Chain A
Amino acid sequence: MIEGKLVNLRAREMTDVERMTRWINDREVTRFMGGAYPWSSEAEEAFVRTTASAPMTFGDLRFAIDTKDGVHIGGCGLHRASPENRDAELGIMIGEKAYWSKGYGSDAVATLVRFAFEEMNLNRVELHVYDFNERGQAAYRKCGFVEEGRMRQAHFSEGKYGDVVVMAVLRDEWVS
């Protein structure tokens, strides 16, 4: 378990499937994540099983986010980590909407970035965020991410194209 200030990050368990199925079918949650198609509980179970049934590895880390009271509120991960380039892509979702805008997501990101630099010895953590997700961008900025650019009209949802913002934090910046 990896301890933050407000949350802990732990390995996923099959007992998380029911909540994760609910979140992945909640359009208010997924509109920030891409993927407009509904998921069956069987598909979600198969997906969770592939990660929950094996130890995490450098190239693909997927965590459940728990509050300090043990309430499972979301998930986060580091994907496509490159051992040579020492970078990875960060993804996060707070599925329990009652926990939005209260610092839990920011704490999960800060905890994950610390883990990336201090335990995995990464040099760069990158993420992609939709232009309309201003709450997400503010949280990432707070954690040290800077906007490196915008992939124009790289995303289509809700009837229109939008930009995808590329953000990243380097180890030196994070340390200072």
Chain B
Amino acid sequence: MIEGKLVNLRAGEMADLDRNFRWMNDREVTEHLAMRYPISLSAEEVWMREGTAKPMAFGSHVFFAIDTKDGVHIGNISFHAMSPEHRKARLGVVIGDKGYWAKGYGTDAMLTFLRFAFDEMNFHRIDLTVDADNPRAIACYRKCGFVEEARMRQTLFMRGAYKDQFVMGVLRDEFYSLHGATQAREEVAR
């Protein structure tokens, strides 16, 4: 388990299935996940079984459930397209429980996950794509250190119109200078 200030990150479990199924069929949640089709419980189960059956590993599967400190499962956060040579990955995050939106849980999950990425996985860069019409998410990512690097015009068609997405990226040095580098243990002890 990885501890943040408001949340803990733990491995996904099959016990999360019902919640994930509900979130992935909630249009308000999936609006900004570029998902448009409903997903069946059995399809969600197959997908989750693939992920939970093996230990997490660089390059194949790095997927955490986000729990509040009270143990309420409120979302998920994961890396995709991990490259060991370029030392980068693409981040995906969802707070599926809408009662926990806009209260700092998503930002804390992001900061906790990014520190894990840079301190433990030795990434050099993390990036993500975000809908240009999702200002709440963009503000959260900026707070974490991400900057807008590219505006991909008309890259998504949803709800009757083409819309733009930003590529946002954060480099390890930027994250450390913004949020502090983790000090080596001996230094802390001194």
Closest-by-CB residue of A relative to B172 is A153
Interface of A is mostly: strand
Are B171 and A156 closer than 8 Å at their CB atoms? no
Are A85 and B156 closer than 8 Å at their CB atoms? yes
Are A166 and B152 closer than 8 Å at their CB atoms? yes
> Hey, which chain A residues are within 8 Å of B86, CB to CB?
154-156, 161
Are A154 and B157 closer than 8 Å at their CB atoms? no
Number of A-B contacts (CB under 8 A): 64
Interface string of B85-128 (1 = CB under 8 A from A): 11110000000000000000000000000000000000011010
CB distance from A80 to the nearest CB of B (A): 12
Closest-by-CB residue of A relative to B83 is A156
Which of A6-14, A65-73, A143-151 interfaces with chain B? A143-151
Task: Give chain A interface residues in 151-176, CB to chain B under 8 Å.
Answer: 151-157, 161, 166, 168, 170
Interface range on chain A: under 10, 10 to 19, 20 to 34, or 35 or more? 20 to 34
Closest-by-CB residue of B relative to A161 is B124
Further 15 A-B residue pairs, CB within 8 A, beyond A85-B155, A168-B155:
A84-B36, A85-B156, A85-B162, A148-B152, A148-B153, A149-B149, A149-B150, A151-B150, A154-B86, A154-B88, A154-B125, A154-B127, A154-B169, A157-B85, A161-B86
Please list the residues of chain A having a beta carbon within 8 angstroms of any beta carbon in chain B.
36, 84-87, 123-124, 126, 148-157, 161, 166, 168, 170
**Closest 4 A/B residue pairs (Cβ):** A149-B150, A166-B150, A148-B150, A156-B86
